[in-house]
Amino acid sequence: MKFLLLKILIIPSFVYSASYIDYQSPFHPVVGTKGMVVSQNYMSSDIGIEILNKGGNAVDAAVAVGFSLAITLPRAGNLGGGGFMMVYIAEKDEIYFIDYRSKSPLNASIHKIFDLDPSLKLKPENFKNEMFDTTRYGYKAPAIPGTVAGLLDAHSNFGKLPLKDVLAPVIKQAKEGILVTYDLHMAIKDTFQLKDDPESSKIFFKDNQAIAENSILKRPDLAKTISLISQNGKNGFYQGEVAKLIIDAMVANDGLFTIEDLQSYKASFKQPIVSIYRNHKVFAAAPPSGGGITLLTALNILDNYSLSKLKSNSAYTYHLLAESIRRGHNNRSHFVGDPDYYNVPVDQLLSKKRTLELAKSISIKKVSNSRAVKPLELIKESRDTTHFSIVDIDGNAVSNTYTLGYSFGSGVTIPGTGVLMNNQMNNFAYRYGDEKERGRSASTGNRFEPGKKPMSTMTPVMIFNENNELSLITGSPGGSLIPAAILRVITGVIDFDLNIGEATMLPRIHKDWPTPGILHERTISTDVLKGLRTIGHKITPEHTMGSTQSINIIDGVNYGYADLRRPNASVAIQAN
């Protein structure tokens, strides 16, 4: 025993520190045992922690972060857009899904949207691409915003702190301003629709140039709007002074909103959709989300394959990811829309019968043709969205994804409010009925109707492990690339036993339907690309895909990781 003790004493000291400095991966999660906030901007993540430190819970923090991102990440964070939130209340062991997607104005019609003669008989095949600019930019592009209703409904049902306390640091942030980063400066510079709108131009430009890096961007009008909301709740936005300013601007600019649209808007509480993957329960967003359908379809298919026997970076792994996500997009391209207007066949789309039908159309050695992936038999999106994930010390959690649509949405800021408006009218299937169209632009479920919510690929996600314990909170921006980004993270954690940092930074691919080919991030290896070509895939390099903000919970410890694909994202934690 003495000899053994002597040997231990003379081991060089650097051996002891090796386990602390020689990490297996350069992608280190942030570790904490109390509250954690992961968002696309560090200043907003810090505000979330400030709310937790005041005694607020995960929902209080989510409301603060959601409002704050309208200041720190104005191209995607918003009051003038919409989204989806998933809430887990640990004490009740219950999960809730809040749909606060933007919806089309009741006054809208295809003739009004596209400035067409009311007597003109419309044929979808006669629609020209340039016509769709009215749904992309300017005052006819926005749908009725749902963000304020969704965040405040979450707070009134699940929050702990008074709304005034939750929004106080956000109001202060808007008044005092934020430091303009290089990323924000370049985003403003590259967004022409901001310069085309007088109010947006006044806020984001100086002397006809994008506001300079390292300058201070103050938002006094937005601070006033948030103050009115903090005092009056939803009425501070959908009625009163702010609502009047929105309608006045719409009337002055030939927009489609009426006061009835604002006053009648309501967020909806629904059941999330769920599938079992490797004995894990995966909860995703229900329709009008098509992203949840896409993701769960892909996971259902992959559950038939033993991915763990492959390498995470093998060509066959990427092939199976591509073929499964393509079939997921096929499922969402026809029969997913607003369930208040269309009976979405969720059970059939995610059924074992449908899954086996899709799985049997996959060859492990050869790429499939789009026509081999057939729609279920029954009687172009923006990437500038944002996601955040939050967990508190009691185990309550929020997974939230919301959007303006395009970067900075329609480009329209309502004068006197500081509120940037979305361009979600662009997300409807206006070519419905065109027999030449096979893709989502002719979707049965997503055809345009007044008062309807357009389909979205946003899908906040929560996963519970074999012991029914919350184990992963994640989500991503990225338009149609969202499901593939999330799928890569989930398979990285569950199939390949990677830490959340490693799983996040795995190279990503995307394969849609019916368009051919794989889009891939440039970090993917040349050997994998060669293997994919051999199988028959046409491959195209793409920019980075998505920006997942994730928390992996293992044995009561939170491991957070902010995706490096977009700058300024951050994990913030309560001090242990």
Active-site residues: which are they? 385
The answer to whether 409 and 420 are in contact (CB under 8 A) is yes
CA 391 to chain centre: 18
Between strands 539-542 and 518-521, the pairing is parallel
Tell me 253's DSSP state.
Answer: T
3-state helix, strand, coil in the chain (%, to 5): 40, 20, 40
Instruction: Report the distance separating Cα 234 and Cα 249, nearest Å.
Output: 20
Q: Take residue 144 and report the two structure tokens written for it.
A: 């009725």
Instruction: Report the distance separating Cα 197 and Cα 100, nearest Å.
Output: 26
Instruction: Report the distance separating Cα 291 and Cα 12, nearest Å.
Output: 54
The answer to whether 317 and 311 are in contact (CB under 8 A) is yes
Closest CA to 397 of 44, 16, 48, 144: 48
Q: Take residue 210 and report the two structure tokens written for it.
A: 């994008």
* Type of residue found at 487: L
Closest CA to 320 of 532, 538, 534, 543: 532
Closest CA to 422 of 227, 144, 233, 125: 144
Neighbouring-strand partners of residue 447: 429
Closest CA to 409 of 431, 389, 427, 434: 427
Closest CA to 62 of 153, 147, 151: 151
* Type of residue found at 220: P
**H/E run at residue 106:** none
Query: Which positions ≥6 away from 542 have C-beta within 8 Å?
Result: 510, 519, 520, 521, 522
Instruction: Report the distance separating Cα 384 and Cα 38, nearest Å.
Output: 17
Map tokens 């980004």 to a residue. Answer: 485
